[in-house]
Structure 1
Amino acid sequence: MTADLPIDPDKISFDFPCIRARQPIGDIFVGAIPHKRLKSITYFDVRRVLRDERDFERYLGIQRPLDDKRVAKLTNYVNYKDASFPTSIILALTEGYVSFDEATNRMTVSNFRPGEAAPSINLGQIARVLDGQHRIEGLQGFTGGADDFDLSVTIFVGADIADQAQIFATVNLEQTKVNKSLVYDLYDLAHSRSPQKTCHNIAVALDGDSRSPLHKRIKRLGIATDGRVFEPITQATFVESLISYISEDPRSDRDKLLRGVKLSEISGDELYKRPLRNLFLRQQDIEIASIVNNFFLAVRQKWPVAWDERGKGAVLNRTNGFRALMRFFRWAYLHVAEPGDVASQQRFYERVFSAIRLADADFTTENFAPGTSGEARLYRVLRGEEQL
């Protein structure tokens, strides 16, 4: 990660070949830049969370931490005779320091704005890397000439932070290049509502609430959180388990909301398939979080030992148990409430969990094997469709 750099003492400017492409998000530019030139204008951010005294979170970056082993492998690779990086580095360039000449198909990057007599930025902070940081770092060890290794680049000029996050999320979720937990975490940067953002926010809220059974149990960004020793559920697991109760097609919903399309509430059988849908459409995310939290409070009340068990072979509080519980959630919720009602912990416990004939000691891998088969069996047992 690059800290704020001092403004350059001298004016610097260079240009490179480029073409414009028009896409729904806006114009993008595709060009080729010598690797040393590219290195001189780029920086990387690392997605990280800072908490202030009110436990709010703020955004500092969207790139993955550098993987030193991967960089070392690329450093060796770039010096092979047949080395090639055929795919584009994706950049977001700061508006005002970039110009494009349509007649010559060349883009110019400068550390000063038009009309300025002196630089107003450090050249190294003009381009944020949205994808490709490892390739750029790997070329640090390239032993050829400065102009012997060009990189193709895809450039977004003046994209705001939410657009940058969405570009990164689209590239990496669709191509499965990074863990999904990080990708879902990026949705909190979006300006508009979406099923993904709502589920992300609920994961953050329950993970951060000391009264919640899921307090400090959700692994954010797909990597272990400093200072925690027990994070059995990934953010991606949480989001993907909850989102089906809110949306049949989350990507389509997000796109419609971005376009300002009002989504219609549902009823009948459709509402019983997605009982939290109308709460989402009414922007009642707090109520959704309360229902989910009360459900897990009842789980913990019924099986307090199994819920806190951290030893090998435990099932209830791990991925398999969580997924089975979230499959069971729809049946349990509709058994105690009408869609949209906030069911209390007491109602969940008294009308659902108190009758289930499972003891704390039953939640083992011997009874519920790792993988989808064990998850499915636990769901059937919770429903009373199968006995141990």
Structure 2
Amino acid sequence: MEYLIDRPDIVFNCLEARQPIGNMYVGIINYDDLEYISYADVRRLELGNDNREVEEYIGIQRNLDPKREKDIGKYVNLVDATFPNSIILAMSSEHAKFDPKTSTMKVPYKDDIAKVLDGQHRIAGLRGFNNRDGSAFQCIVTIYVDMELEDQAIVFATINKEQKNVSNSLVADLFAFAKSRSPQKTGHNIARALNEKSGSPFYQKIKILGVARDNSRETITQDTFVKSLIAYISKEPQKDRDFYKRNAGSSKKLPLVSGTEAENLFLRNLFIEDESDVKIAQIIFNYFYAVSHKWPSAWNFVSNNQILNKSTGFIALMRFFKHAYLHLANGNLSAIPSKEQFLSVFTQITLTDSDFNRERYIPGSSGQGQLYRDLRDQSGL
């Protein structure tokens, strides 16, 4: 690719750091410049005989995940979007010129001169950044210059071997510290409240932070609970959170939903109108109170072969919850069906406590689907 005549070199603040593997340069670069000069050397598995260099065949980056790129593209437009970690690049000294006197790095505005060792999804997601009001999005980059292919592979392998995913339940729990309203915070607050309230059908059953403190009781992860609940509140919880954060302190509210959308998101209008979340928590309480009284042994006691009070049973029950609620609400999506009304929904269901075993309902999506279908078929909903 030829240099673009009408674009000057990119010059950005940079510091030199020395490590056992060699020197590296840590700088700050505008997102659009970064996107233009970088490329991902995606691993190729096929063989060829066209005399290309070895690195043409041995890339060290994973394939780009379109869904992840789309998700990050949405995220970068949130009011509090941030990439606090460095994007790691490998460049030739032909293109990367560090000036120790001014602590700046100069690179030509040229396509595909910086190989991405880590951060390709962040860069791809930044293509969707809406530069409204001239807002900036600068990225931290770590640049290795003239790094051997073997060392590039070591850096890539080290990053992906050593990094540990953050527990989704921990992420859910951290929303408790948020000041503004969001579906995530609602889900967290309700999970915490039902888990801590004596007499609740979820009393000490939820693994807060995803870690069981008492293996004899805690059978549902906070992440599973919150995700299942949010599914009836929002299609785009991050977008809703962004709305509340941007409009903190104002009287603005999200628009209410109606029709088919209101049926699919049957808790959404309550979430928008009732900012205390008490009504949603009461509905969940009443529904699972009915579950715990219909199948007291299967819900309250834990065994290796039992599935009702674990993710398989809980997810199936949450899927059936939509049909039970809409049947009882009869068009009134601000209704709070009583425990007795939810119990009446289960009257026709012939499943007994002993039926909720791993042989009949295999743990995982197939077992969840089968239990959901059985609940619907036997209830007539």
TM-score scaled to structure 2, two decimals? 0.56
Are the counterparts in 2 of residues 221 and 235 from structure 1 also a CA contact under 8 Å? yes
- Name the SS for the 2:347 alignment partner: helix
Superimposed CA distance per residue, residues 295-342 of structure 1 (whole angstroms, 9 cap, x where no aligned partner) = 000001101011123112101111100000000000001111231211
Kindly report which structure 2 residues correspond to 1:253-292, keeping only aligned pairs within 5 A, or say none.
253-260=240-247, 262-282=253-273, 283-292=275-284
1:188 alignment partner, one of 172, 176, 187: 176
Distance across 2 between alignment mates of 1:381 and 1:320? 13
Are the counterparts in 1 of residues 313 and 371 from structure 2 also a CA contact under 8 Å? yes
Kindly report which structure 2 residues correspond to 1:1-388, keeping only aligned pairs within 5 A, or say none.
177-225=165-213, 229-260=216-247, 262-282=253-273, 283-337=275-329, 338-350=332-344, 352-384=345-377
One-letter amino acid of the counterpart of residue 375, structure 1: Q
Distance across 1 between alignment mates of 2:198 and 2:256? 33
- Alpha-carbon deviation of 1:90? 5.4
Are the counterparts in 2 of residues 33 and 153 from structure 1 also a CA contact under 8 Å? no
Distance across 1 between alignment mates of 2:164 and 2:239? 19
Cα 1:200/1:251, change in 2 over 3 Å:
same
Of residues 281-290 and 254-263 in structure 1, the stretch that sits farther from structure 2 once superposed is: 254-263
Are the counterparts in 2 of residues 32 and 153 from structure 1 also a CA contact under 8 Å? no
- Name the SS for the 1:216 alignment partner: coil
- Name the SS for the 1:355 alignment partner: coil
Distance across 2 between alignment mates of 1:329 and 1:317? 15
- Name the SS for the 1:269 alignment partner: helix
Cα 1:262/1:312, change in 2 over 3 Å:
same
One-letter amino acid of the counterpart of residue 372, structure 1: S
Aligned to 1:14: none
Distance across 2 between alignment mates of 1:228 and 1:319? 14
Cα 1:362/1:345, change in 2 over 3 Å:
same
Aligned to 1:63: none
Distance across 2 between alignment mates of 1:191 and 1:34? 41
Please tell me whether Structure 1 or Structure 2 has the larger radius of gyration of its CA atoms: 2
One-letter amino acid of the counterpart of residue 193, structure 1: R
Are the counterparts in 1 of residues 346 and 379 from structure 2 also a CA contact under 8 Å? no
Aligned to 1:138: none
Cα 1:257/1:214, change in 2 over 3 Å:
same
Aligned to 1:74: none
Distance across 2 between alignment mates of 1:34 and 1:290? 58
One-letter amino acid of the counterpart of residue 291, structure 2: V
Distance across 2 between alignment mates of 1:184 and 1:288? 18
Distance across 2 between alignment mates of 1:380 and 1:233? 21
Cα 1:320/1:228, change in 2 over 3 Å:
closer
Superimposed CA distance per residue, residues 234-265 of structure 1 (whole angstroms, 9 cap, x where no aligned partner) = 00000110001100111111111111163101
Superimposed CA distance per residue, residues 174-221 of structure 1 (whole angstroms, 9 cap, x where no aligned partner) = x98211000111111111000011001000000001110101111011
Unaligned runs of 5+ in 2: 1-11, 20-82, 87-100, 105-138, 142-162
Are the counterparts in 2 of residues 31 and 153 from structure 1 also a CA contact under 8 Å? no
Distance across 2 between alignment mates of 1:279 and 1:244? 14
Distance across 2 between alignment mates of 1:213 and 1:369? 24
Cα 1:105/1:361, change in 2 over 3 Å:
same
- Name the SS for the 2:255 alignment partner: coil
TM-score scaled to structure 1, two decimals? 0.55
Unaligned runs of 5+ in 1: 1-18, 21-29, 36-87, 92-102, 107-151, 155-174
Identity %: 46
Distance across 1 between alignment mates of 2:205 and 2:300? 11
Distance across 1 between alignment mates of 2:291 and 2:334? 21
